[in-house]
Amino acid sequence: MKEQNPQERINNFNEVALGYTPEQAILEAKRCLGCKNAGCIQGCPVEIDIPGFIAEIKKGSFDKAYQVLKEKNNLPAVCGRVCPQETQCEKACVLAKKGKPIAVGSLERFVADWAISHGVSERPEQKFKELERNTQYAIGNTKKIAIIGSGPAGLTAAADLAKTGYQVIIFESLHAVGGVLRYGIPEFRLPKEIVDTEVGYIEKLGVKMEVNAVIGRIKTIDQLRVEGFKAFFIATGAGLPYFLGIKGENLNGVYSANEFLTRVNLMNAYRFPDYDTPVNIGRKVAVIGAGNVALDSARVSRRLGAGEVTIVYRRSESEMPARFEEIKHAREEGIKFELLTSPIKIYGYENGWVRAMRCLRNRLAEPDASGRRRPVAIPDSEFDFDCDLVVVAVGQGPNPLLLSTIPELKLNKRGNIEADPEGRTSVPDIFAGGDIVTGAATVIEAMGMGKRAARAIDNYLTKLINC
Ligand SMILES: Cc1cc2nc3c(=O)[nH]c(=O)nc-3n(C[C@H](O)[C@H](O)[C@H](O)COP(=O)(O)OP(=O)(O)OC[C@H]3O[C@@H](n4cnc5c(N)ncnc54)[C@H](O)[C@@H]3O)c2cc1C
Ligand code: SF4
């Protein structure tokens, strides 16, 4: 797929990958074997009929391809851009064994973009087709369901429940919907316009969205029950940033990745000077961590004008959790990597601003509980690393604000909600899914949970009516 040149793209926030042309899409689709027992479907958490949509691309029927996609996936233009296909459908493709799986993600993106640009992405018959599959009870009933959190889990559950005929309201604490799709993933990987379009489709299904609505603060679940809501889906994500717990993390110029990316994405700092909300970017930026969040922070810093940006990571490249494609893009954009390195202290000037970081070198020992080789500090390997901005991207956990108001809801040791694979929790009318259950994971996993929970909520409400 064609990409924006690295030298150009470090000066703008436009998309890096430019998408397939129709000819490229058809050519790639023709490689698909249309397997009967398609591994690719099993590798997809939302069970898209992958051979089905690819078969339509082969024929040049992009409209039909889109309908097949949309049967299962409410956010195809998002997934085509950010899903880790290499570890899911593409990994399970039979052609992966021969070294070149079908580029399912690129094809999905092509079809979704084609539908948007040809105005077929929000056609009402799509909705009616889905409605034919409804349960007999849900159609036309007015049972109200509250979805808390508007990330991919919440949006997916909301769309599926609306298609089933329920009255669905999403409550979102921020002033805009989309969750991480909006405030975390930067414009050059996922344009806001794409999020707007796919959220627009969900609104057209009848889902209402209330923003600036922090549930647990403005209203409790109990109050929502009194207002007539019959079931709840908690999809509040993993919004609480973790820190390293080292000295100096409270200095000026140390950000959590969450705050840094929110300022850039949600507060429009990436559109300076059109928006006067600039982020004070450093000359030398250190980003601690090597997941997608860290790589995004590093690449955003580069685009905001940092002279030098370095990823500081305690293990080696093969243990990095970020997508391979993002690591490759970061390298092309001149991001440096200080591997097998752990920060142990951050130094500041007298005025309270960051000056440098003290680090230790590591070697790798045997694998730990995560299956990755454990970093062990090498004695006397301390060194100082100059930097004037530090972004800490070492993971996120559950925000306890809402959970503390539902003491009857069972949580695990890490503070995540305990839920079965269908999203059922210890409270019969409360379901949960996405990062709030799994811990920080992926968009498609969150969507898969949203889908399964929607089915479970429908079953629960159907039984309630029968009793
Ligand atoms: C920077 C970044 C880059 C990423 N890149 C990728 C990627 O390339 N590919 C990939 O697959 N995954 C990626 N991920 C992970 C992925 O985005 C998450 O796994 C996914 O968004 C989780 O979805 P969710 O619906 O559970 O929660 P979220 O997307 O976190 O949404 C939760 C929403 O709930 C709202 N909320 C929280 N508390 C309340 C409350 N009390 N009341 C009302 N609303 C509330 C929040 O404001 C938020 O909007 C990335 C994550 C980050 C942070
Ligand atoms: S496994 Fe690969 S080749 Fe077979 S249907 Fe799926 S995408 Fe096509």
Pocket test for ligand 1, best of 220, 236, 417 (most atoms within 8 A of CB): 236
Q: Which atom of ligand 2 is nearest to the CA of 94?
A: 1
Verify cis geometry, omega within 30 degrees of 0, for the bond prior to 398.
no
Minimal-distance CA residue to ligand 2 atom 2: 93
Cα torsion 216, 221, 227, 229 to 10°: value is 130
Mean pLDDT of all residues belonging to the chain: 92
Q: What's the CA-to-centroid distance between 162 and ligand 2, angstroms? A: 31
What was the pLDDT predicted at 270? 83
Q: Which atom of ligand 1 is nearest to the CA of 293?
A: 1
Is the distance from the beta carbon of residue 34 to the nearest atom of ligand 2 less than 6 Å? Answer: yes
Six token digits for residue 432: 């949960």
Residue 165 region, left (φ>0) first, then alpha (ψ -120 to 50), else beta? left
Q: Indicate if the pLDDT at residue 411 is higher than 50.
A: yes
Q: What are 78-118's pLDDT values in tens digits?
A: 999 999 999 999 999 999 988 899 999 999 999 999 999 99
What was the pLDDT predicted at 128? 42
What was the pLDDT predicted at 168? 95
Ligand (nearest to CA of 89): 2
Q: What phi and psi values does residue 320 have, to the nearest 5 degrees?
A: -60, 130
Structure confidence at residue 28 as a pLDDT band (50, 70, 90): very high
Is the distance from the beta carbon of residue 195 to the nearest atom of ligand 2 less than 6 Å? Answer: no
Q: What's the CA-to-centroid distance between 48 and ligand 2, angstroms? A: 12
What was the pLDDT predicted at 127? 47
Q: What's the CA-to-centroid distance between 269 and ligand 1, angstroms? A: 20
Pocket test for ligand 1, best of 292, 299, 416, 436 (most atoms within 8 A of CB): 292
Ligand (nearest to CA of 100): 2
**Cα 392 from Cα 243, distance rounded (Å):** 7
Q: What's the CA-to-centroid distance between 255 and ligand 1, angstroms? A: 18
Q: What's the CA-to-centroid distance between 75 and ligand 1, angstroms? A: 14
Tokens 């259950």, residue located: 437
Is the distance from the beta carbon of residue 100 to the nearest atom of ligand 2 less than 6 Å? Answer: no
Ligand (nearest to CA of 36): 2
**Cα 61 from Cα 458, distance rounded (Å):** 33
Is the distance from the beta carbon of residue 93 to the nearest atom of ligand 2 less than 6 Å? Answer: yes
Taking the alpha carbons at both ends of the chain, their separation in whole angstroms is: 55
Is the distance from the beta carbon of residue 180 to the nearest atom of ligand 1 less than 6 Å? Answer: yes
List, edge to edge, every strand of the sheet that includes 229-234: 208-210, 167-171, 144-148, 229-234, 430-432
Structure confidence at residue 396 as a pLDDT band (50, 70, 90): very high
Q: What's the CA-to-centroid distance between 26 and ligand 2, angstroms? A: 15
Structure confidence at residue 124 as a pLDDT band (50, 70, 90): very low
Residue 269: Cβ within 10 Å count: 21
Minimal-distance CA residue to ligand 2 atom 1: 93
Cα torsion 215, 218, 219, 220 to 10°: value is 60
Is the distance from the beta carbon of residue 154 to the nearest atom of ligand 1 less than 6 Å? Answer: yes
What was the pLDDT predicted at 12? 93
Tell me, letter by letter, the H, E, C secondary structure of 430-447: EEECCHHHHCCCCHHHHH
Is the distance from the beta carbon of residue 102 to the nearest atom of ligand 2 less than 6 Å? Answer: yes
Q: Indicate if the pLDDT at residue 131 is higher than 50.
A: no
Q: What are 265-318's pLDDT values in tens digits?
A: 988 888 887 888 878 887 999 999 999 999 999 999 999 999 999 999 999 999
Minimal-distance CA residue to ligand 1 atom 7: 82
Six token digits for residue 383: 């060194």
Q: What's the CA-to-centroid distance between 464 and ligand 1, angstroms? A: 31
Q: What's the CA-to-centroid distance between 245 and ligand 1, angstroms? A: 24
- Tell me the sheet residues that pair with 377: 362
Q: What are 159-170's pLDDT values in tens digits?
A: 999 988 899 999
**Cα 429 from Cα 61, distance rounded (Å):** 43
Is the distance from the beta carbon of residue 435 to the nearest atom of ligand 1 less than 6 Å? Answer: yes
Q: What are 200-242's pLDDT values in tens digits?
A: 999 988 999 999 999 999 999 999 999 999 999 999 999 999 9
What was the pLDDT predicted at 175? 95
Six token digits for residue 240: 């609480």
**Cα 179 from Cα 9, distance rounded (Å):** 25
Structure confidence at residue 141 as a pLDDT band (50, 70, 90): low
Amino acid at 94: V
The angle formed by the CA atoms of residues 421, 422 and 424, to the nearest 5 degrees, is: 100
Tokens 């889905």, residue located: 130
275: exposed, middle or buried (C-beta count within 10 Å: 0-12, 13-18, 19+)? exposed
Q: What's the CA-to-centroid distance between 45 and ligand 2, angstroms? A: 16
Structure confidence at residue 137 as a pLDDT band (50, 70, 90): very low
Secondary structure (3-state) at 242: coil
Q: What's the CA-to-centroid distance between 449 and ligand 2, angstroms? A: 24
**Cα 364 from Cα 316, distance rounded (Å):** 8
Q: What are 309-368's pLDDT values in tens digits?
A: 999 999 999 999 998 889 999 999 999 999 999 999 999 999 999 999 999 999 999 988
Kindly state the average pLDDT of the residues 392-410. Answer: 96
Structure confidence at residue 121 as a pLDDT band (50, 70, 90): low
Residue 358 region, left (φ>0) first, then alpha (ψ -120 to 50), else beta? beta
The angle formed by the CA atoms of residues 184, 186 and 189, to the nearest 5 degrees, is: 125
Q: Indicate if the pLDDT at residue 125 is higher than 50.
A: no
Six token digits for residue 106: 């690129």
Six token digits for residue 400: 């306890």
Structure confidence at residue 136 as a pLDDT band (50, 70, 90): very low
Q: What are 428-463's pLDDT values in tens digits?
A: 999 999 999 999 999 999 999 999 999 999 999 988
- The answer to whether 189 and 81 have CB atoms below 8 angstroms apart is yes
Model confidence, pTM: 0.93
Pocket test for ligand 1, best of 89, 443, 444 (most atoms within 8 A of CB): 443
